[in-house]
Amino acid sequence: MNRNPTSNLLKTPHTSTETVWPQSLPGPDEKRFFSITICENSELVWAIHEVDEVVHGVHTFKSQLKLNKDELKTSGKSEKLELLRTNLPKEHGNSNKYNVTDLQNFVCPVPLESTVEEDIIPAAEITLYIVGVNALEVDLLVRLFRCIPSRVFVMKSTDFFLPHERENLRLKVDRVAALRGSAHIHGFPAIVFDIGDGLTCTAANLNGRLIGESVSIGLWSRLQSLIGINSDLRALTRDTVDKLFDEVMK
């Protein structure tokens, strides 16, 4: 029996970056699993998914991806643990059940306070799903999670809609994931708007079949195009528009 806690914590786990069902499902004894969605500007949305809860089983937190390829490449396994903790959320999320400390304990149970082997407690094995369209950022997260015992899977568009439902469509995985999530909560038909630097709209009909998507310029670009013909808009800044939009979304 291996009694070295450091070797358990820092071993390279079995990691898969391709979903194969049903093998990629959480283990039968897992009460929860995790996901990370990579958004614009490298924002990470972390989610704790309760296996036994249907309606209120998802608890989300946000953080900013602070990682680069060279830093990860030159880091040892203990340094990778610190990088992982650096990227964990630090602020309260939308959950009334869990806080950021709970999430940190699920992923990295004990802070690395010492290099003494006896002070390091092995992390529990977790199942993690990553949704993102930036291949480099996805790869960095997959490599980062290799410092703890974990099963890491990168989601594909076809994990949310069958291939024949996507004929002649080239929808990105983050958009179909959001559409499927909306339908899970509210049912079909469903339409999801994603507003950022661009404005996208993705829709599915009453039978759950994908209709398609539209893409246009974002709100800030629209406002900029109107400044020349409406002097009242000249005082607006990007920060002002972002704050107004955040208030509307609340």
SS3 198: strand
Most confident of the following: 49-53, 77-81, 83-87, 195-199: 83-87
Tokens of 51: 């296996």
Give residues with Cβ within 8 angstroms of 88, minimum separation 6.
Answer: 46, 63, 100, 103, 104, 107, 108
pTM for the structure as a whole: 0.77
Q: What is the pLDDT of residue 230?
A: 57
189 vs 100: CA distance, rounded Å: 34
H or E, element range at 204? strand 198-204
The pLDDT tens digits for 224-243 are 766 665 556 666 676 776 77
The pLDDT tens digits for 169-192 are 678 899 899 999 899 889 999 999
Give residues with Cβ within 8 angstroms of 75, minimum separation 6.
Answer: 83
Longest Cα pair distance anywhere in the chain, in angstroms? 75
Q: Which residues pair with 58 in a beta bridge?
A: 49
| pLDDT at 216 > cutoff 70 | yes
DSSP string, 163-177: GGGGTT----HHHHH
Q: What is the mean pLDDT of the chain?
A: 79
Q: How many other C-beta atoms can be found within 10 angstroms of the C-beta atom of residue 39? A: 17
| pLDDT at 148 > cutoff 90 | no
Asked whether the CA dihedral 98, 132, 71, 153 is positive or negative, the reply is: positive
Q: In this structure, are residues 163 and 171 in contact, taking their beta carbons and an 8 Å threshold?
A: no
The pLDDT tens digits for 40-71 are 789 999 999 988 765 557 899 999 999 888 88
Q: What is the pLDDT of residue 157?
A: 87
Q: What is the pLDDT of residue 234?
A: 62
What proportion of the chain, given as a percentage, has pLDDT over 70? 75
Q: Which residues pair with 212 in a beta bridge?
A: 203
Q: What is the pLDDT of residue 3?
A: 36
